[in-house]
Structure 1
Amino acid sequence: MGKWPLHPLVYEINTAVWLTSLSRTYGRPISLGGIPQAELERLAELRFDGVWLMGVWQRSAASRTIARAEPALLSEYRRALPDVRPDDIIGSPYAIADYTVDPLFGGDQELAALRQRLRALNLRLVLDFVPNHLARDHAWVGARPEFLVQGTAAELQARPNDYFEAGGRVFAHGRDPNFAPWTDTVQVDYRCAAARRAMTHLLVALSERCDGLRCDMAMLVTADVFCRTWGGRFDPPGADFWPDAIRGIKRAHPGFLMLAEVYWDLEYDLQQQGFDFTYDKRLYDRFQRRDDPEAVRRHLVADIEFQRRLARFVENHDEPRAAAQFGPEGSKAVAALAVTLPGLRLLHQGQLDGFETRWPVQLRRAVPEPTNTDLQAFYQRLLNAVDSAVFHEGSWKLLEARAAWSGNRSCWNAVAHRWVKGEEFVLAVSNLSPDPMQCYVPLELPALSGCTWELRDLLSEARYDREGDGLLHPGLYLDMPAYGRHVFAFA
């Protein structure tokens, strides 16, 4: 299969919920090997380059027990699924007992067969890698305790939520230093060179089974962060995990995609350590600050070599649903921007249908929701719009939105940018405000001069004729409603 596009479109699917839903729809048990061809063809028709099957690996019995007993989690389940039953709760997909496909989903051979079916439709497969921790009942607890962070009886007594006892030893739970530990996990000790080699071997083995990996909380295992969290130093000093591990993958599979979930302004650092793409959580956070579209524009002035390696999203399994968080119209404005920016464009199962309930990852069943047909039609047009070489191979530039008249400051609510490939021009504009907006956008394309151009809005099919000289100065005049958005193709 050919290499990934420069700006790929990836669709995250909750494997457990998807298979449960398909089984209900088709009236028979469906595992990975039995997914109807029509369902896979539907993904291909939506123009995705890759499918991230979240949560395929074997879940932990200990995690399942904890997930069925923790009061805070039970409350979260009931909010998302009022009639939740114990058998709906299958444990966290991020407390992995073994990197084999969970028998609940059909096992390794069914995943391999599904990958071939996806490849026949030009769809690449992305899977999870959780570097920081393993399930607390993983085989390494008994077989390789030296690969894991251990504690003392005194630490266990003083901080019983941070540590647990197994086989006469005390182990640390996996953790993000800013939050409580994940009590269904055990922390891998990256200070240990043998542990790093073992995790590298696992990572390279996983790369044989898919076309990309989404690496959970990738910054936690960098030397700087790990040693700030746990103390000590890496053996040998100066060592790190990701650079060597990713080089090992790229030697075997040069076109393999590595996506890092990363926060704390460490995106650039992880790119330098070898990741192809890193989460752009800062952009998402700025979308949430709905009173400051200028913050979004400032974010987009960063160097293009950095920006083209960011993964843009307006929802995923960790965040609220976009339709609920931003409202149906607001979600269109931010999605139209995120999906047309350079970088990896990540969309989420249910987002295209306007679902508003976030699914806890421990559940295998979701409450049925009605499809928002207006949002569904919007996303279909948006995905059709970006299914063009200009959005994958073109050159990108952020544009300035100028005041339509003196004293009109609504132009600050607009974010405009354009793509160019040869003689193909596309302009995308979003009004990120709940108020109407007027502005001029100078297009900065001398090739427009001296001609009349038809501007076709790919999100509405509206058409406008404009003189090229006017598009250069004073620019394209726009009068947009609250949360309005355009993607104009020039002809």
Structure 2
Amino acid sequence: MLALASSISIPKHPSLLELSTRPWIYELGQKYGKEIKGLSGVPDAEISDIAKKGYNIVWLMGIWQLGPAGLELDRTDPGKRKEYDKVLPGWTIEDVIGSPYAIANYTINPVLGTMDDLRKFRLKLNKLGIALMVDLVPNHCATDSYMVTAHPEWFIRAIPSDKPPYDPNWYMPNGVAYGRDPYSDAWKDTAQYNMWDSSMRQQLTNFLKICADVADAARCDMAMLLLNEEIAQTWKVQLAGWNYTQPRTEFWSDAIKEVKKTYPKFFTMAECYRNKEQTLLNLGFDYVYDKDGLYNRLADGNLDNIRGYIKFKGDFTQWSHFTENHDEDRGIVHFQSVARCDAAAAISMTIPGMRFYFQGQTVGKQNLLKVHLRRSADEPVKKDVQQFYETLQRIVNHTVFHTGNFDSSIDVLDVINTSSQSNYNDNDKTAWRLVSYKWKLGKEKRLVVVNYSDGAGQGRIICPDAGENAGTGATTINVIDEISGDKYERNIKEMENTGLHVVLQPWQINNEHFKSKGSFRPLNVFTNPSEDKFIIAWSSEIIIFTTTKLEAYSFTKSNKPKPSSELLKNATSFDCKIKLNSDPAEVWPQIGVLINAATAKNLVVAVSNLPAYQKRSNNSPPSAISIIRYILVGDCIDPYMCIILGCYDPIDRTLLSSATWIAYPFEHIVSLSISLIAKIIPSPSCGSLLGG
């Protein structure tokens, strides 16, 4: 048997990767085209890849032995089967693997190997500087655990005056209570621990010691449920019926102290809600979930609340920030678009504290992976999301984001009195859309700016220390955009006094090694009446689409026939005068309504011409919405298209009708970028549009 005490030290503000262990093993088997036999069969290349991405902790969720009763319930319960139908159409019995939170015993699930296999896996991680985290489920165990019959006093039981048969909604046939919290129904695959029983408290401490013996950390499930006040709220009647009184100390304080006597570097993370985070930190936890704080504020979207939380919360070092995990919806679904989810992740992963990622998050998965199942519904990797996280993780892996000083006092000011040559409205009051803060470590400085809103925003950020390392006599410094790699030269006095001018599109992120997006302009749409063309202007590039045959031209400095200002000089504002090959009376008014309603929003969608659509839809009468569904959802390769304004929902890939706009919150609607237009219109003539 291998035995080792933890000697690994994780950095401040570490990155954690949660792996749902059995689904991860199954996924690796699909990837390599062969059965992966437990942890010992995981290819070393996979572990190396985790290290290369900068993760400091791997949480193997769901490694402990389960009982057959819970698995049978998960496979037969009608409610659960309906849930599986929803998230994994075509699931099989073999796909149902049982809840990892109905633990029968703290020995490894035989499907994953032996305890020695677990220790060897930990050693591989440790050699690459990665700590291993495992689960402790302290509120309950499997209904068929040996403890239920061997030590009934370790469990909450119906009071002695109650006689069988017991209420099946709350109790097992033997009178032991099902696990639950004060606000939930019973979890009928679990039995509720009695944490006011001294021998049970010691037993759970021993389970925590098992975790410390084979791993470097434990994530403690629903940790707040073991607080004495929570126990009393839920089980006071039952405990009094068996003459139990409240202990004078809290379990967590006693257990953590005892474990750390033998394993001083072992650390713990508490899953917790209902504003119990600071209480658990005071009792000895090293990290706590930040759901009630940052996660919920990002989901709500109130920028004053988000900024206030970041500015005035205080020390975030022990708080674990995430945009998804196994208990929550996928981030893209929860935040309702890729763009908003990316922006939420950028904030979550660039403030102090633990940076918490979930399996599949960094490749854009949006199909739910339920803990009872070994797989989620198939979906392709989202290359744009993958690229975003590669960039984000490269940025936050820098030492400045781990040992630097964090400054949340940054104010983003409105832009006023800008140059007459500016491309922006001099008095644009949109600084409120931007969230900003900075990190500093010696000469290394990072300014983070995120537009966490559905509209374009700009502002100026005073940088009083911009020139402190510039050298004697220097008047300018280079500012580097760590997202794009672009470099800009900026005047030091202007940055220190007037401020760095930043312009960001909806949900856009800048991590500036002091960098301004000075040449980045909002999307503007024009039409030239004489040529019957629509012109979409984006930064220094002009894309032209005709209404009869798609043509795409990207003018750069080397081949631009005329300056963009001259090209657009005679352009008029967008109106409804569009010529289509076919103009059915019942369709055109709807399209006109869509165009008019979207003009103010600068939102773009591609629509196929009507004859091609009618031919492919068996000549059924088309509507504006059905045409748009056709081009967005279908495999259209037809080059005959026009470009109109519309509103695109990135979750279900449909266009929202004008009637829907009235009721649909605008903050749930995002702009369609030029790159997405290129993907939506897979015509050979635009395959290289803006680099594809």
Q: In the TM superposition, what whole-angstrom CA distance separates every residue of 1:312-356 from its partner, at most 9, and x where no partner exists?
A: 000111111112222111111111111111000000110000011
In the TM superposition, what is the alpha-carbon distance from 1:443 to its structure 2 partner? 3.3
Please name the residue that 2:375 is paired with.
365
1:316-335 pair list within 5 angstroms: 316-326=325-335, 327-335=337-345
Verify the 8 A CA contact 2:447 2:512 in the aligned structure 1.
yes
Q: 1:375 aligned to 2:395?
A: no
Q: In the TM superposition, what whole-angstrom CA distance separates every residue of 1:76-104 from its partner, at most 9, and x where no partner exists?
A: 21222111111111110001011111011
- SS at the partner of 2:445? strand
- The CA RMSD over aligned residues, in Å, is 1.9
- SS at the partner of 2:311? coil
Q: Say which of 497, 509, 513 aligns to 1:485.
A: 509
Q: 1:164 aligned to 2:172?
A: yes
Structure 1, 317-326 or 328-337: larger mean CA deviation: 317-326
Distance 1:452 1:407, change over 3 A: closer
Q: 1:354 aligned to 2:364?
A: yes
In the TM superposition, what is the alpha-carbon distance from 1:157 to its structure 2 partner? 5.2
Q: 1:180 aligned to 2:185?
A: yes
Distance 1:447 1:195, change over 3 A: farther
One-letter code of the match for 1:331? C
- SS at the partner of 1:426? strand
Q: In the TM superposition, what whole-angstrom CA distance separates every residue of 1:339-376 from its partner, at most 9, and x where no partner exists?
A: 11100000011000001111110011222210001110
In the TM superposition, what is the alpha-carbon distance from 1:254 to its structure 2 partner? 2.3
In the TM superposition, what is the alpha-carbon distance from 1:422 to its structure 2 partner? 1.4
Q: Matches of 1:308 and 1:402 in 2, distance apart?
A: 28
Q: Say which of 91, 104, 108 aligns to 1:97.
A: 104
In the TM superposition, what is the alpha-carbon distance from 1:220 to its structure 2 partner? 0.3
Distance 1:178 1:238, change over 3 A: same
Verify the 8 A CA contact 2:157 2:175 in the aligned structure 1.
yes
Please name the residue that 2:455 is paired with.
435
Verify the 8 A CA contact 1:193 1:235 in the aligned structure 2.
no
Please name the residue that 2:265 is paired with.
255
Q: Say which of 13, 26, 31 aligns to 2:32.
A: 26
Verify the 8 A CA contact 2:179 2:187 in the aligned structure 1.
yes
Q: 1:88 aligned to 2:95?
A: yes
In the TM superposition, what is the alpha-carbon distance from 1:241 to its structure 2 partner? 0.5
Q: Matches of 1:374 and 1:156 in 2, distance apart?
A: 59
Q: Matches of 1:434 and 1:458 in 2, distance apart?
A: 23
Structure of greater relative contact order (alpha carbons < 8 Å, 6+ residues apart): 1
One-letter code of the match for 2:175? V
Please name the residue that 1:309 is paired with.
318
Q: In the TM superposition, what whole-angstrom CA distance separates every residue of 1:264-313 from its partner, at most 9, and x where no partner exists?
A: 011111111111110000211111113x12211111133433x2111000
Verify the 8 A CA contact 2:478 2:490 in the aligned structure 1.
yes
1:29-428 pair list within 5 angstroms: 29-30=35-36, 31-152=38-159, 154=162, 159-165=167-173, 169-231=174-236, 237-281=247-291, 282-290=293-301, 292-305=302-315, 307-326=316-335, 327-398=337-408, 399-405=410-416, 408-428=428-448
Q: In the TM superposition, what whole-angstrom CA distance separates every residue of 1:3-22 from its partner, at most 9, and x where no partner exists?
A: 11110000011111111111
Q: Matches of 2:376 and 2:107 in 1, distance apart?
A: 24
Gaps in structure 2 of 5+ consecutive residues:
1-6, 417-425, 516-692
In the TM superposition, what is the alpha-carbon distance from 1:447 to its structure 2 partner? 5.7
Distance 1:158 1:400, change over 3 A: farther
Q: Say which of 7, 15, 21 aligns to 1:9.
A: 15
Please name the residue that 1:471 is paired with.
495
One-letter code of the match for 1:302? F
Verify the 8 A CA contact 2:211 2:217 in the aligned structure 1.
no
TM norm structure 2:
0.68
Q: In the TM superposition, what whole-angstrom CA distance separates every residue of 1:24-75 from its partner, at most 9, and x where no partner exists?
A: 2222221110101111111111110011111111122111111112222112
Q: Matches of 1:251 and 1:171 in 2, distance apart?
A: 34
Q: Matches of 1:445 and 1:161 in 2, distance apart?
A: 64
- SS at the partner of 2:386? helix
Larger radius of gyration: 2
One-letter code of the match for 1:288? A
Q: Matches of 2:512 and 2:298 in 1, distance apart?
A: 22
One-letter code of the match for 1:52? W
- SS at the partner of 1:184? strand
Verify the 8 A CA contact 2:362 2:389 in the aligned structure 1.
yes
Q: Matches of 2:353 and 2:399 in 1, distance apart?
A: 14
Give aligned-pair identity as a percent.
33
Structure 1, 399-408 or 331-340: larger mean CA deviation: 399-408
In the TM superposition, what is the alpha-carbon distance from 1:2 to its structure 2 partner? 3.4
Q: Matches of 1:23 and 1:174 in 2, distance apart?
A: 34
Q: Matches of 1:25 and 1:37 in 2, distance apart?
A: 14
- SS at the partner of 2:89? coil
One-letter code of the match for 1:203? L
Q: Matches of 1:259 and 1:438 in 2, distance apart?
A: 38
Distance 1:318 1:252, change over 3 A: same
One-letter code of the match for 1:177? P
Gaps in structure 1 of 5+ consecutive residues:
none
One-letter code of the match for 2:216? D
- SS at the partner of 1:170? coil
Q: Matches of 2:464 and 2:225 in 1, distance apart?
A: 42
- SS at the partner of 2:91? coil
Verify the 8 A CA contact 1:213 1:257 in the aligned structure 2.
yes
One-letter code of the match for 1:161? N
Distance 1:443 1:175, change over 3 A: farther
Paired residue total: 486
Please name the residue that 2:567 is paired with.
none
Structure 1, 186-195 or 442-451: larger mean CA deviation: 442-451
Verify the 8 A CA contact 1:457 1:463 in the aligned structure 2.
yes
Verify the 8 A CA contact 1:294 1:413 in the aligned structure 2.
no
Q: Matches of 1:172 and 1:90 in 2, distance apart?
A: 24
Q: Matches of 1:109 and 1:58 in 2, distance apart?
A: 15
